[in-house]
Amino acid sequence: MGALPLVVYAMFSFGFWYGGELIQNDGWTVGEMLSCLLCVLIGTFGASVCMTNIEYFTSGVVAAEKLYHVIDRVSNIDSESTAGKSVTDKFETSIEFKNVTFSYPTREQIVLNKLSLSVKAGQTVALCGDSGSGKSTVIQLLQRFYNYSKGSIKISGTRIEDFNIRELRQQIGVVNQEPILFNATIRENIKLGNPSATDEQVLSAIRQANAYDFIMKLPRKLDTMCGQQGSQMSGGQKQRIAIARVLINAPKIILLDEATSALDTQSEAKVQQALDNLGVNRTLIVIAHRLATIRNADVIFTMTPFF
C-alpha cells in the first residue's frame, strides 16, 4: 500500500527536477514538460493496476493444469472403447457375484466384502438393507462405473469386463429415485432411450409404462414440454416417462434404485404397475425399502453394512 504512492511521488519529484533542466537548457516549454510527465505517470499507474491482476493469471494457470490433467488422463474404464466381447441376440441375463470386494477410489473403507449372490435369467430380485450396506454399489458395478478389486461378476458366465462396455450398457436399463428429464418434449425425452424409435414404438412404451392416459390428456400430448429437469411434470409422471424411456430400448436387464421411494401412495401404485410390466421376460434387480415394491420379487437379499 505504501509502495505505490512512494513511486508516484518519486516520479513527480524526478519529473519536475528533470523537466526544469530541460526547460532551462534544451528549450522545452512548460506544456511539453507537463505532457511528458503526465504520460509517464498515467502509464506507471496503469501498469501498477495491471499488476493486481497477476493473481488471476496465476489462478488460471493452476486451473488449466488441473483441467489438462483430467483431459489427458486415461480412464481405466473407456466407454468409447471398441474392444471386448460383442453382446449377441442370444445374450442371457443370469448374473453372478462371487466373493466381490470393493471400495471406492476416494475412500479406503470397504463397501462390499466378499459379496456373493446369484440372479437367474428372468428373475426379479430385490436388494434390501440399511443405508450404506452397498445396495446402490451393486448396481453401479453392474454398469461398470467402477472396477471391483477382488472376486468376479459374471453375466451369462462371462466376466463383465470381457464384454464391450458400450454394448453391455445398451442391454441395461436404469430407473433411479430421481429421474432426469431434459427441457424437451415428452417424445424427445422418451426417444433418448432409442433415437431411431418410431412413433408406434413410443406409444407402445408409454402404454407399458402406464403413462398413456395422462399424456393423452395433455393439450399437446407427446409434444408437451417437460420443462427444466422435468419441472412441468409431477413426481409420478416423471418416473413413468423415465420408465418408458427405458422400455423403448428393450433392455434385457433392468436396475431399479428406489424408484418409488419419493412418491405418494397414489402415484406409487401407478408407477408400481409400470414397474411390474418392466419385469416381464427380463431380469430385474430392485433396490427398495417399501414392502409394496418388492412383494412380487422371486428372491430377496438382505445386505448389512460391513463396517
Give the pLDDT confidence score for residue 60 in this predicted structure.
92
pLDDT for 61 beyond 80: yes
Q: CA end-to-end span of the chain, whole Å? A: 55
One-character DSSP codes across 243-282: HHHHHTT--SEEEEESTTTTS-HHHHHHHHHHHHHHTTTS
In a domain, 66, yes or no: yes
Question: Tell me: the pLDDT tens digits for 86-129?
Answer: 876 667 788 999 999 999 888 878 888 888 999 988 888 889 88
Residue 200 resides in a domain:
yes
What confidence tens digit (pLDDT) does each residue in 244-284 have? 898 888 888 888 887 766 566 666 676 777 777 666 678 88
What total of structural domains would you count in the chain?
Answer: 2
For residues 119 and 17, state if they share a domain. Answer: no
Q: Are 126 and 269 within one domain?
A: yes
Q: Are residues 164 and 295 in the same domain?
A: yes
Task: Indicate if the pLDDT at residue 47 is higher than 80.
Answer: no
pLDDT given at position 231: 85
**Cα–Cα distance, 180 to 89 (Å, whole number):** 29
Across-strand partners of 285? Answer: 125, 255
Residue 273 lies in a domain: yes
Are both 154 and 252 inside the same structural domain?
yes
Average pLDDT over residues 183-193: 92
- Give the CATH number for residue 188: 3.40.50.300
Residue 307: pLDDT over 80: no
Tell me, yes or no, whether 84 lies in a domain.
no
Measured CA to CA, the distance from residue 296 to residue 307 in angstroms comes to 31
Do 106 and 51 share a domain, yes or no?
A: no
Q: Is there a single domain that holds both residue 193 and residue 269?
A: yes
Environment class of 39 (CB within 10 Å of its CB; exposed 0-12, middle 13-18, buried 19+): exposed
Q: Are residues 149 and 295 in the same domain?
A: yes
pLDDT for the residue 190? 92
Identify whether residues 132 and 25 lie together within a single domain. Answer: no
The pLDDT of residue 191 is 92
Q: Let me know whether 169 and 274 are in one domain.
A: yes
Domain hosting 251: range is: 95-303
The pLDDT of residue 97: 92
